Chains A and B, each alone.
Chain A
């Protein structure tokens, strides 16, 4: 909408007031003077009409002299009466910070001192210093309040310039200053997912970017005062502050988890000691007593042997679950064959099947492509699934382990012909501690085997699926990526093959390797 022109009035500044005002008063004064003088002369001419005429020689000089004298006097009076106003105006203009032609009055002249005008001027000047210091006080508190607040908070704030130098860090931020006076951030990022890697990526590809890391420690595990941070980084290309890091100190919650994990690790260590001895001597005695043992006694030794293996398998499940739930489970993917993975547990599984009178047949084609796999973790998955198949099938039942290529994946199937499950159970099967109503009564178990198996497989970028028919058996299918389909992505990860489970729902940093 257009604004009407006459509505726009120039804003008058205080400095413009005095010249205009003074000029107007002067004009008023002179006009009044002329008017008065003319009136006075006319009256004089009427009174002294005999002696004074318009042609009188004396009239004009007298009139003009009187006019000049009275005008001079009046102007002097005006000047002296207006002077304090002028001085006050000049002082106010000076204080207001405007430019003015008027020289600011000196309050300390002897005259001002005598008349007391000095006080008035000084009051104005004092107002000005008060006002400006108030402004400063108002601005400074804002800055210092923010700085103080930043130093009080447990959140760390770090600002970095485009050379990645720390230009600001509050007290909570884990930084140190070295002998050269250089401030450095003390955060131990995961080597493959560090701040620097991200910044390199940003400077190549982004104008504005954001990234979040969780559970970043500032010191090594055995160092005192170790803290954990969730780090939120913002990046703005070519800004004076190019990087801002916000560090949320999560030490309290993570330390508790770490302590739990420590407890579980130590408990596992204690439990594994006796298992090592039992398992070792059972094996030794089986060999050494081979010739003297009766058949049924040898069978009992087999049961001892598989029981100790199961026990150590459960401990692995507990450790893995505890690590997985705390996002500590790391999977290192290497090129390997399904056969090599299975070979780790082959003897144990055969023994378990035969002792429990199941027929375990394993048929893994020799020409399968290699897979990207963490051999030890995946053998635990196969072990869990085969052990389940043994548990949930009947005496004399057959368990078939087969493998085939399926697109970019290799599918490993573990099929039993046992009790199977209804649909309603299948959906809940992979929940932690889930035991089906029926199996709770008839089959021993902890309910974490399938949970952790699914987690491990998904950490590989694979899937576990299940087909089951109530009363007719179940088939679990583990799909794992063919190595050649992910080799490039694994190599760009610096061949580290590290998969750190770091996101809330499970999924995992190196999932990006598989999902673009």
Chain B
């Protein structure tokens, strides 16, 4: 099986490192971007199987990144699963808007890397 590729856009160093470490150990290929601009560029330049997207990001918020990738007429990443990973309690409008374009919406404080991997596996098999 070819290793699944994952783009992790996460500005918290500890959290980012934790996810990258666990995902790599589980056999995934992971690119990690810390700011929103780099994250959007990476998502456009390479086709990933999964994008883990934070909401509160420097330079460009997760909402804008998702909107740039999927908000237009054409879905720029039709073969990618997007998982929103945030600790920020958004207002309902924004959350619903993001959920519409994403495959999962998870609160980071409520999941562990193990749980994240099980969500990824679940989505790959779906």
- Enumerate chain A interface residues (CB-CB to B < 8 A): 220-221, 265, 268-269, 271-273, 275-277, 279-281, 283-284, 287, 312, 315-316, 319, 328, 330
Contacts and interface: CB of A to CB of B under 8 A. Distances in A.
- Chain A interface, DSSP helix/strand/loop, else mixed: helix
B110 A280 contact: no
A329 B45 CA distance: 39
Interface string B13-49: 0110011011000000000000000000000000000
16 contacts: A220-B93, A221-B93, A221-B94, A268-B87, A269-B88, A272-B108, A273-B12, A276-B108, A276-B109, A277-B14, A277-B15, A312-B107, A312-B109, A316-B110, A328-B91, A328-B92
A221 B18 contact: no
A287 to B, nearest CB: 7
B15 A265 contact: no
Given A221-B91, A328-B91, 11 more contacts: A265-B89, A268-B89, A272-B108, A273-B109, A276-B12, A276-B15, A277-B12, A277-B15, A280-B113, A284-B22, A312-B107
B91 A312 contact: no
A277 B18 contact: yes
A221 B92 CA distance: 11
A271 B107 CA distance: 12
A283 B94 CA distance: 31
Contacts of A268: 87, 89
Given A221-B94, A319-B89, A283 B113 contact: yes
Contacts of B108: 272-273, 276
B112 A265 contact: no
- Chain B interface, DSSP helix/strand/loop, else mixed: helix
Contacts of B14: 273, 277
Contacts, number: 62
Contacts of A269: 56, 87-89
A280 B18 contact: yes
Given A273-B87, A330-B92, A281 B18 contact: yes
A330 B90 CA distance: 12
Given A268-B89, A269-B56, A287 B114 contact: yes
Nearest to A330: B92
A273 B93 CA distance: 23
Contacts of A273: 12, 14-15, 87, 108-109
A120 to B, nearest CB: 77
B109 A272 contact: yes
A284 B18 contact: yes
Nearest to A265: B89
A279 B109 contact: yes
A281 B14 CA distance: 10
A330 B91 CA distance: 10
A312 B110 contact: yes
Contacts of A315: 109
B22 A276 contact: no
A277 B14 CA distance: 7
Contacts of A283: 112-114
A283 B115 CA distance: 10
Contact of A272 (B19, B21, B87): B87
A264 to B, nearest CB: 8
Contacts of A287: 114
B123 to A, nearest CB: 17
A341 to B, nearest CB: 15
B112 A272 contact: no
B34 to A, nearest CB: 14
Nearest to B95: A330
Interface string B82-113: 00000111011110000000000001111011
B56 A280 contact: no
A275 B113 CA distance: 13
Contacts of A221: 91, 93-94
Contacts of A265: 88-89
A10 to B, nearest CB: 73
In order of increasing CB-CB distance, the 9 nearest A-B pairs are A272-B87, A272-B109, A283-B112, A312-B109, A276-B108, A275-B109, A277-B14, A269-B88, A265-B89
Most buried by B among A280, A281, A283: A280
Contact of A279 (B56, B91, B112): B112
